[in-house]
């Protein structure tokens, strides 16, 4: 996918994420869910995102991490920035809502913004071996993260 197509995809995902409301229907979710939640207890490093024929992968996965906390919050490192997020899980459905962030200007070539956009477009997840695979809204692709 060309750079302009990735930018268009990111803009589309941001627009969709901005349209999301606070859907408090009273249903419970598995926020936290303790030791039976395979997402908690690991720091996940972004390995790649596959969308169509294109693969986007960071040069240094350790600079793009995601850690789920038992209280429904998540800690994200997006290259030179730190982000606090909230998440909810309902069976295999996954929602990540970005919160406060540092606003450092990362070096040219950083994937900070696309990484955060992709995380905010999470819809479902599965475990494939030790890897966490997150599907993105609108069949935009899948992210693969490893502990």
Q: For residues 26 and 63, which has the higher predicted lDDT (pLDDT)?
A: 63
Are 124 and 88 spatial neighbours (Cβ–Cβ below 8 Å)?
no
Q: What is the mean pLDDT of the segment spanning 52-80? A: 97
Contact 140, 147 (CB under 8 A): no
Q: In a 3-state reduction of DSSP, which class is residue 122?
A: strand
What was the pLDDT predicted at 34? 52
Tokens of 64: 């793009």
Give pairs for 28-34: CB < 8 Å, separation 24+. Answer: 29/88, 29/89, 29/90, 30/88, 30/89, 30/90, 30/91, 31/71, 31/72, 31/87, 31/88, 31/89, 32/69, 32/70, 32/71, 32/72, 33/70, 33/89, 34/70
Of the given ranges (9-18, 38-47, 104-113, 124-133), which has the lowest mean pLDDT? 9-18
pLDDT 10s digits, 38-63:
999 999 999 999 998 999 999 999 99
pTM greater than 0.85 (yes/no): no
Polymer length in residues for the chain: 147
């Amino acid at each position: 996918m060309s750079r302009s197509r990735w930018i268009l995809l990111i803009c589309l995902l941001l627009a969709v994420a901005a349209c999301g409301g606070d859907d408090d229907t009273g249903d419970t979710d598995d926020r936290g869910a303790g030791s039976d939640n395979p997402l908690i207890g690991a720091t996940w490093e972004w390995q790649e995102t596959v969308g169509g024929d294109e693969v986007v992968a960071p040069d240094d996965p350790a600079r793009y991490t995601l850690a789920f906390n038992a209280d429904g919050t998540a800690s994200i490192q997006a290259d030179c920035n730190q982000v606090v997020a909230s998440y909810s899980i309902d069976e295999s459905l996954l929602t990540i809502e970005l919160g406060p962030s540092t606003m450092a200007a990362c070096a040219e070539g950083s994937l900070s913004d696309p990484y955060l956009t992709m995380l905010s477009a999470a819809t479902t997840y599965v475990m494939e071996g030790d890897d966490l695979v997150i599907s993105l809204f609108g069949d935009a692709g899948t992210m693969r993260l490893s502990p």
